[in-house]
């Protein structure tokens, strides 16, 4: 059932720390500088008290629910929440009818907050449209999934889409420090050691709500043990997770990613998964991991398994599309795929050899028969003359020179006989003999 009221009404002393510390104004919001900037659409909506529906897209714990509460409180609107997990079309219509009746009585306007709107069916999303079109409600819908795939076009076109970014480690640390000092939070009753703070920040993974939940558990554990400060051991025990010794800016960052790539190159998926798990648990940016997989797919697998690059790129797209923690599965699949694939470094060796020659000045003129012959006067210069059109030749391969004279016999790509590249090698050797006139067709 839809719930009415203000999110600020439940911030009693026994409420969870994450609820008590929810920002009350847009200026108290941590992170999301692009949304808080002067003249931004969100600030204009709040300060100008405009009726505008919002679609908030971002990872968990980045402030979507908080923004809905801020809009409601600062514009003095009723707050009604509908959960996409539990509500159906009946509940959506009831919420909109209630908002319409409130307006008819001359009462307050209503902010209708729909969390996880991507879970709504098309029919349920359609039920929101009358309220949005007639401005009976200010709809604020939140989603962790790409709305271009999960939200119907009519609703998308009638809403202002705001993209929320994952909080940085500094943002999460600021949230923790505020909760330690603020009267609504721990009010200075508990100190936090630096090691414990780093541990909580890493575990939070850019999620402010998770950080505050962990901090509250650690503070409770410290109080139970008669401690004035939360140390690393207490934090580890409270959240039942050991601290991962991993500095994203230091040697461990480079050591672990190096071991990860070398384990894949060495065809040991178990070792590769171990280092992947270490990076995930330490809060490493999954986009960084995905980028390394994409590079590795061409550098160390190449044409020995042409599907390796597809798998790595798909994993990188999945990281952007669904985020963590679900994307860990996609990263793991790509890691295993690359680890068990046959290996070839022929691609990187080929391009580096070609670049080396270019840097050494071995460039030469483009052969005349390969030059552009489409502009006026080009044929008078001999451009294109003698060019053999490969499709007119047997097997679709013509004998002619493609490289400049200075590099006529250069060989950059040297395919291996590993995996699928064995077939490429066999065909390339036959084609090369035809192209360069070193054998029969």
> What tens digit of pLDDT does each residue of 213-233 get?
889 989 998 988 889 899 988
Tokens linked to 330: 């996609």
Distances (CA, A) of 269 to 72, 78, 192, 407: 50, 54, 38, 41
Torsional sign, CA 289, 294, 298, 304: positive
Domains 169-248 and 254-340 share a fold: no
pLDDT of residue 341: 94
Where would I find the beta strands (DSSP E) of 249-313? none
Tokens linked to 199: 């541990």
- pLDDT bin (cut points 50, 70, 90) of residue 8 is very low
- pLDDT bin (cut points 50, 70, 90) of residue 239 is confident
d(CA 46, CA 62): 19
Q: Is the pLDDT of residue 316 over 90?
A: yes
Question: Which residue is associated with the tokens 């931004």?
Answer: 40
Q: Is the pLDDT of residue 248 over 60?
A: no
pLDDT of residue 206: 79
- pLDDT > 90: percent of the chain: 29
Class for the domain spanning 169-248: mainly alpha
Tens digit of pLDDT for each residue in 14-55? 788 988 998 888 888 888 888 888 888 888 878 876 677 889
Of residues 430 and 51, which shows the higher confidence score? 430
Beta bridge partner(s), residue 114: 82, 141
Mean pLDDT of all residues in 263-284: 89
Instruction: Tally the residues of the chain.
Output: 441
Runs of H (alpha helix) within 282-388: 286-296, 307-322, 327-340, 346-359
* Residue 191 backbone dihedrals phi, psi, to 5 degrees: -95, 165
Terminal-to-terminal C-alpha distance of the chain: 76
Q: Given the DSSP bridges, would you call strands 110-115 and 78-83 parallel, antiparallel or unpaired?
A: parallel
Q: Is the pLDDT of residue 440 over 50?
A: no
Taking every pair of Cα atoms in the chain, the longest distance, rounded to a whole number of angstroms, is 94
Count of CB atoms situated within 10 Å of the CB of 76: 10
254-340 CATH, one of 3.40.30.120, 2.40.50.140, 3.40.250.10, 1.20.272.10: 1.20.272.10
∠ CA 211-326-332, rounded to 5° = 115
pLDDT of residue 401: 83
pLDDT of residue 361: 87
d(CA 108, CA 99): 8
* Residue 374 backbone dihedrals phi, psi, to 5 degrees: -90, -20
CATH code, 368-436 = 1.10.3710
Distances (CA, A) of 18 to 125, 190, 234, 304, 324: 29, 16, 20, 51, 20
Domain chopping of the chain, boundaries:
17-163, 169-248, 254-340, 368-436
Runs of H (alpha helix) within 75-142: 89-104, 122-126, 129-133
Q: Is the peptide bond before 325 cis (omega within 30 degrees of 0)?
A: yes
Tens digit of pLDDT for each residue in 44-99? 878 876 677 889 998 887 888 888 888 888 888 888 888 877 778 888 899 999 99
Q: Answer left, alpha or beta for residue 364, where phi above 0 means left and psi between -120 and 50 means alpha.
A: left
Q: Is the pLDDT of residue 439 over 60?
A: no
- The CATH fold of domain 17-163: Rossmann fold (3.40.50)
pTM of the complete model: 0.53
pLDDT of residue 381: 62
CB 120 within 8 A of CB 126: no
């Amino acid at each position: 059932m839809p719930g009415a009221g203000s999110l600020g009404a439940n911030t009693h002393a026994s409420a969870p720390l994450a609820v008590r510390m929810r920002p009350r104004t847009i200026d108290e919001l941590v992170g999301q500088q692009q949304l808080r900037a002067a003249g931004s659409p969100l600030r204009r909506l709040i300060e100008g008290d405009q009726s505008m529906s919002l679609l908030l897209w971002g990872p968990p714990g980045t402030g979507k629910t908080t923004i809905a509460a801020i809009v409601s409180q600062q514009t003095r609107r009723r707050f009604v929440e509908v959960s996409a997990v539990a509500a159906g079309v009946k509940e959506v219509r009831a919420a909109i009818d209630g908002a319409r009746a409130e307006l008819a009585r001359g009462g307050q306007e209503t902010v209708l907050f729909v969390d996880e709107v991507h879970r709504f069916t098309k029919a349920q999303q359609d039920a929101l449209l009358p309220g949005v079109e007639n401005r009976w409600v200010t709809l604020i819908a939140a989603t962790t999934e790409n709305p271009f795939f999960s939200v119907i076009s009519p609703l998308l076109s009638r809403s202002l889409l705001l993209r929320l970014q994952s909080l940085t480690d500094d943002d999460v640390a600021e949230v923790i420090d505020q909760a330690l000092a603020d009267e609504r939070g721990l009010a200075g009753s508990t100190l936090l050691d630096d090691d414990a703070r780093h541990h909580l920040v890493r575990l939070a993974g850019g999620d402010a709500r998770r950080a505050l939940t962990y901090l509250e558990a650690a503070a409770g554990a410290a109080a139970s043990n008669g401690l004035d400060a939360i140390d690393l051991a207490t934090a580890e025990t409270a959240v039942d997770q050991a601290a991962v010794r991993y500095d994203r800016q230091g040697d461990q960052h480079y050591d672990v990613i190096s071991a990860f790539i070398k384990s894949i190159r060495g065809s040991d998926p178990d070792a590769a998964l171990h280092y992947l798990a270490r990076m995930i648990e330490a809060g490493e940016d999954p986009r960084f991991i995905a980028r390394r997989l994409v590079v590795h797919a061409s550098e160390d697998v190449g044409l020995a398994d042409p599907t390796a690059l597809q798998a790595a790129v798909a994993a990188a797209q999945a990281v952007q599309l669904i985020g963590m923690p679900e994307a860990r599965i996609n990263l793991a699949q790509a890691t295993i795929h690359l680890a068990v694939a046959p290996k070839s470094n022929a691609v990187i060796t080929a391009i580096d050899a070609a670049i080396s020659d270019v840097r050494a000045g071995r460039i030469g003129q483009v052969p005349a028969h390969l030059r552009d012959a489409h502009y006026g006067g080009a044929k008078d210069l001999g451009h294109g003359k003698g060019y053999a059109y490969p499709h007119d030749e047997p097997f679709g391969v013509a004998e002619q020179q493609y490289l400049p004279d200075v590099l006529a016999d250069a060989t950059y790509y040297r395919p291996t006989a590993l995996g699928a590249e064995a077939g490429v090698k066999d065909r390339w050797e036959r084609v090369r003999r035809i192209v360069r006139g070193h054998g029969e067709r």
